[in-house]
Structure 1
Amino acid sequence: MSKKIFIAATGQDCGKTTTSLSLIHLARKKYKRVGFIKPFGPKLISYKGRKIDMDAALISHIYRLDDDLEFMSPVVVESRTTRQFLDGEITHDQLVIPLDIAIAELERKCDFLIIEGAGHAGVGAVVGLSNALVAARYQAPVLLVTGGGVGHVIDSVHLNLALFREAGAEVRVLVPNKLIPAKRPATLSYIEKAFANYPFKVVGGFNYSPVLANPTLRHIANLLGLQLHATAEQSWSIAHHLQMGAAATQRVVDLLQPSTLLVVTSSRDELLVMLASLYHLPEFKSKIAGLVIPGLSPVADIVQRILNDAGIPYMRTTATTADVFSRIREDVSKIGPDDHEKIALIQQLAETELCFETIDALI
Structure 2
Amino acid sequence: MRSVFVAATRQHVGKSTTSLGLLAALSSRVPLESIGYLKPVGQQHVEVQAAAEGAPPLRVDKDCRLAKEYFGLRCEYKHMSPVLMPRGFTKSYVDGEIDMERQKQALLHAWEALRAAHPNVVVEGTGHMGVGSIVGLDNAAVAKLLGLEVVLVCEGGLGSAFDELSLNLAVCAAQGVKVRCVVLNRVQPAKVEMMRDYLGRALGRIGVPLAGLEPFLAAPSMGDFAKLLGQRLISGEGHGEEHVLRHCGGVQFVTCSVRRFEERLAEGEYSDRLLVVHGSRLGILEACLRHHAQTGEIRGGVIFTGTRHSWAPDEPILARLRESRIPTMHAPLETTEVAERIQKFTAKLNATDRQRTEAAIRHVQAHVDMDVLLGGTAAGGLASPRRGV
Q: Which residue of 1 aligns with 2:4?
A: 5
**Per-residue Cα deviation, 1:213-270 (whole angstroms, up to 9, x for no partner):** 1201122223334322213333332223324456654566677753222333444444
Contact residue 263 and residue 294 of structure 1 kept, 8 A: no
User: What does 1:321-336 correspond to in 2, within 5 Å?
Assistant: 321-336=335-350
Rounded Cα–Cα distance in structure 2 between residues aligned with 1:358 and 1:191: 17
**Per-residue Cα deviation, 1:136-169 (whole angstroms, up to 9, x for no partner):** 1111101111222322221111111111111221
Rounded Cα–Cα distance in structure 1 between residues aligned with 2:317 and 2:332: 17
Equivalent in 257, 261, 286 of residue 273 of structure 1: 286
User: What does 1:7-46 correspond to in 2, within 5 Å?
Assistant: 7-32=6-31, 33-46=34-47
Specify whether residues 254 and 42 from structure 1 end up closer, same or farther in structure 2 by C-alpha distance, changes over 3 A only. Answer: farther
Instruction: Give the % identical residues.
Output: 27
Q: How far off its partner does 1:62 sit?
A: 0.6
TM-score, with length taken from structure 1: 0.87
SS of residue paired to 1:332: coil
User: What does 1:151-170 correspond to in 2, within 5 Å?
Assistant: 151-170=159-178
Rounded Cα–Cα distance in structure 1 between residues aligned with 2:70 and 2:273: 29
User: What does 1:261-300 correspond to in 2, within 5 Å?
Assistant: 261-282=274-295, 285-286=298-299, 288-293=300-305, 295-297=307-309, 299-300=313-314
| Structure 2 residue 330 is matched with structure 1 residue 316 | yes
Equivalent in 47, 69, 93 of residue 77 of structure 2: 69
**Per-residue Cα deviation, 1:83-110 (whole angstroms, up to 9, x for no partner):** 1112111122242222111111112111
Q: How far off its partner does 1:319 sit?
A: 4.7
SS of residue paired to 1:262: strand
Q: Which residue of 2 aligns with 1:218?
A: 223
Rounded Cα–Cα distance in structure 2 between residues aligned with 1:292 and 1:144: 40
Q: Which residue of 2 aligns with 1:240?
A: 249
Q: Which residue of 1 aligns with 2:385?
A: none
| Structure 2 residue 184 is matched with structure 1 residue 176 | yes
Q: Which residue of 2 aligns with 1:358?
A: 372
**Per-residue Cα deviation, 1:182-201 (whole angstroms, up to 9, x for no partner):** 54343222112112232332
Q: Which residue of 2 aligns with 1:346?
A: 360
Gaps of 5+ in 2: 50-56, 378-389
**Per-residue Cα deviation, 1:107-153 (whole angstroms, up to 9, x for no partner):** 21112111111111111112211111111111110111122232222
Equivalent in 117, 121, 138 of residue 113 of structure 1: 121
SS of residue paired to 1:70: helix
User: What does 1:111-150 correspond to in 2, within 5 Å?
Assistant: 111-150=119-158
Q: Number of matched residues? A: 358
SS of residue paired to 1:279: helix
Specify whether residues 202 and 318 from structure 1 end up closer, same or farther in structure 2 by C-alpha distance, changes over 3 A only. Answer: closer
Which residue identity does 2:46 align to in structure 1?
I
TM-score, with length taken from structure 2: 0.82
SS of residue paired to 2:374: helix
Contact residue 243 and residue 260 of structure 1 kept, 8 A: yes
Q: Which residue of 2 aligns with 1:88?
A: 96
Which residue identity does 2:7 align to in structure 1?
A
Q: How far off its partner does 1:178 sit?
A: 3.1
Contact residue 6 and residue 150 of structure 2 kept, 8 A: yes
**Per-residue Cα deviation, 1:305-326 (whole angstroms, up to 9, x for no partner):** 2323333221234455444443
Contact residue 31 and residue 111 of structure 1 kept, 8 A: no
Contact residue 179 and residue 208 of structure 1 kept, 8 A: yes
Q: How far off its partner does 1:9 sit?
A: 0.9
My pick for the range that moved more, 14-23 or 326-335, is 326-335
My pick for the range that moved more, 320-329 or 250-259, is 250-259
Q: How far off its partner does 1:12 sit?
A: 1.6
**Per-residue Cα deviation, 1:41-89 (whole angstroms, up to 9, x for no partner):** 1222233333221111111111123642111111112111121112111
